[in-house]
């Protein structure tokens, strides 16, 4: 599973160090580096990160104030504070931060913080009901969309986003990565056919082993999706 990360700090050196440390964790992708507090909100809206590594002291606003604003825009983003000030830890955890790191940050301490982050994410998904939800909310750059699972034709990983194609032939770019979304879907209907693709088996009309393609058809529309060998085998077991 890949997690998108935004690093926000007014010190270039601090950003550089965190960026380098994160390269040791293959499941984490830094999608933005921000030094101005006024750009953090915009970055969260545009980049839709899973995790924000943020300093406490930004001059005009504190990281605590920014965290409250960010929560109102994107409640799903997790925050780890990284700061030279140890005195704000209680305020940080009151903002539901998943960890609080005091500079200088070591690789081992960052590793523990990322484990806390993943525990927060896993706890969220494990708290969801076992039965498939009747609707799912997805965050977008403009806000969010509400989609019924049965209206989803397929999902495709699209760089830092996931593209969801629905039966009205619209394509929605959402912030959750495809691995997270897969956990929300009924695995008896939604099949992972490749690392970057999931199909709703209700719309599968043809499988080409030669071209490794899955052909989906619905309401007179058609879409082809590339498949892996294991993806073909999964669909063969269903049909």
Q: What is the mean pLDDT of residues 131-147?
A: 79
- Tokens for 36, please give them: 């101005």
Higher pLDDT among residues 61 and 124, named by residue: 61
Coil, strand or helix at 66? helix
Task: Give the chain's largest Cα–Cα span.
Answer: 62
Coil, strand or helix at 88? helix
Same domain as 80, residue 155: no
On the question of pLDDT at 228 being above 70, the answer is yes
On the question of pLDDT at 36 being above 80, the answer is yes
Same domain as 165, residue 64: no
Rounded to whole angstroms, the Cα distance separating 48 from 140 reads 8
Same domain as 211, residue 191: yes
Helix residue spans in the chain (DSSP H): 12-22, 37-47, 63-73, 89-94, 107-126, 178-184, 229-238
Rounded to whole angstroms, the Cα distance separating 19 from 8 reads 11
Domain containing 96 — which CATH number? 3.40.50.2300
Is 208 within 8 Å of 229 (Cβ atoms)?
no
Last residue of a domain, one of 94, 126, 158: 126
Question: Peptide bond before 136: cis, by omega within 30 degrees of 0?
Answer: no
Same domain as 213, residue 176: yes
pLDDT class for 23, splitting at 50, 70, 90? very high
Last residue of a domain, one of 108, 126, 144: 126
Q: Give the per-residue pLDDT at 64.
A: 87
**pLDDT tens digits for 62-105?**
888 888 888 877 777 899 999 988 887 888 888 888 899 999 99
Q: Give the per-residue pLDDT at 48.
A: 82
Higher pLDDT among residues 173 and 142, named by residue: 173
φ/ψ region of 192 (left if φ > 0, alpha if ψ in -120 to 50, else beta) reads beta
Establish if 72 belongs to a structural domain.
yes
Whole-angstrom CA distances from 205 to 167, 197, 231 are: 15, 16, 15
Establish if 131 belongs to a structural domain.
no
Domain containing 203 — which CATH number? 2.40.50.1020
Same domain as 160, residue 82: no
Number of other residues whose CB lies within 10 A of the CB of residue 135? 10
Same domain as 193, residue 157: yes
Total domains, the chain: 2
Same domain as 148, residue 103: no
Establish if 185 belongs to a structural domain.
yes
Establish if 101 belongs to a structural domain.
yes
Rounded to whole angstroms, the Cα distance separating 72 from 107 reads 31
Cβ burial, residue 175 (10 Å; 0-12/13-18/19+): buried
Sequence-separated (6 or more) residues with CB below 8 Å from residue 161: 48, 173, 174, 175
Predicted TM-score of the model (pTM): 0.59
Range of the domain at 231: 136-238
Last residue of a domain, one of 71, 105, 126: 126
């Amino acid at each position: 599973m890949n997690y998108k990360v935004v690093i926000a700090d007014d010190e270039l050196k601090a950003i550089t160090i965190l960026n380098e440390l994160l390269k040791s964790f293959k499941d984490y992708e830094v999608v933005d580096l921000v030094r101005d507090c006024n750009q953090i909100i915009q970055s969260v809206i545009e980049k839709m990160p899973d995790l924000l590594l943020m300093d406490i002291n930004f001059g005009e606003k504190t990281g605590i104030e920014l965290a409250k604003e960010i929560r109102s825009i994107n409640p799903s983003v997790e925050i780890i504070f990284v700061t030279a000030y140890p005195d704000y830890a209680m305020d940080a955890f009151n903002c539901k931060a998943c960890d609080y790191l005091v500079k200088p940050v070591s690789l081992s301490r960052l590793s523990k913080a990322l484990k806390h982050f993943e525990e927060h994410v896993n706890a969220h998904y494990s708290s969801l009901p076992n039965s498939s939800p009747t609707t799912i909310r997805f965050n977008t750059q403009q806000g969010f969309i509400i989609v019924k699972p049965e209206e989803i034709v397929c999902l495709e990983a699209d760089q830092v986003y996931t593209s969801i194609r629905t039966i009205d032939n619209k394509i929605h770019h959402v912030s959750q990565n495809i691995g997270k979304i897969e956990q929300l879907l009924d695995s008896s209907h939604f099949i992972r056919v490749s690392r970057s693709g999931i199909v709703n088996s209700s719309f599968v009309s043809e499988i080409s082993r030669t071209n490794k393609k899955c052909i989906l058809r619905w309401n007179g529309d058609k879409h082809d999706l590339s498949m892996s060998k294991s993806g073909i085998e999964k669909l063969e077991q269903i049909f």
